[in-house]
Amino acid sequence: MRRPLLLLALALAACGADLEPVGRPALRTVAAPGGGTIEVPVEPQRVFADSATGFDLMLALLPPERFAGVVSTALRYSAVARTPAELPGLEDLPRPEGFHAEDILALGPDLVLVSDWRPPAVPSLLEARGVSTVRLPTPTTWEELEELVTFTAEVLARPEAGAQLLSELRIRRERLMQPSDRGALRVLTYSNFGSSGYCAGAGTSWDLMVRLAGLRNAAAEAGLEGNTAIDLERVLELDPDVLLVSESEEGGDSPTLAVLRTHEAARQLRAVQLERWIVLPVHLHATSSHHLLDAAEALAAAADALLAR
């Protein structure tokens, strides 16, 4: 434990010469997911997001004038804002290239939304400079998705907007839950870029997406958990009815499908032989925000189209 603390202390010392302390605004206490409490500004005025999850929630809940910026790479994964032209009122929004303390502090944020997978070094630096940082949990169940929306709205001091968004999401979920033939389809969320394959088992946002769409997660039913490596032999054993894959980050053909089409053993999969795959845009395939409903709706529509063939 001593080495990480020493490294953090050195990093703080290194930044001290260049970064003057910033004033901390008046704070209030908010209940955190999983227990405990955190302190956040009474009414955040300059909010920064480190990923598409936080940014998409900001777009849904917060007035544009309260945006301090977003990491530029997050726009590729945002379910709403893919280019500056699609950011009405935010055309000049600062977009630092990476999540670096110096760049973020230069924007003067009073609140930074951080993904739960983000290493602690930079958030700790920001906290040391008086900037509140809040980790947003990745939802793996419907209850956790509701909690994410409610929690983020409370952190942003926008509970009414959060309640409205949650009401709309519940209506859409009810529509997806209507009886359909999709419940017979076993779906494998799979990625392979040529060297190794990965799938999404139970306890993942992809598992939630599949279940919201009224489909079955083949990996979860086989006892797999989390985002896990999977070899082709295991995929052949599972032999899913449908493969769920992502487009490339630039859009267009799926790298995973390109691998499967050229691999002799992979062509034994029924889903490959029958071309029973669903390709989602990367911003839907990778979402961990309330836009999981958008992804589930797109997945359900594509599954219905496969069933109608």
Q: What is the pLDDT of residues 235-283, one digit of tens each?
A: 999 999 999 999 987 777 899 998 888 888 888 899 999 999 999 999 9
How far apart CA 246 and CA 173 sit, in angstroms, is: 23
This prediction has a pTM of: 0.88
- CATH number for the domain formed by residue range(s) 181-307: 3.40.50.1980
Q: What is the pLDDT of residue 14?
A: 45
Q: CATH 3.40.50.1980 spans which residues of the chain?
A: 18-172, 181-307
> Residue 225 has what DSSP assignment?
B
CATH of domain 18-172: 3.40.50.1980
Nearest to 147 by CA among 131, 169, 129, 125: 169
Q: In a 3-state reduction of DSSP, which class is residue 243?
A: strand
Predicted confidence pLDDT, tens digits, the chain (309 residues):
334 443 444 444 444 434 444 456 899 999 999 899 999 999 999 999 999 999 999 999 999 999 999 999 888 888 876 666 677 777 788 999 999 999 999 999 999 999 999 999 999 999 999 999 999 999 999 999 999 999 999 999 999 999 999 999 999 999 999 999 999 999 999 999 877 899 999 999 999 999 999 999 999 999 999 999 999 999 999 999 999 999 987 777 899 998 888 888 888 899 999 999 999 999 999 999 999 999 999 999 999 999 999
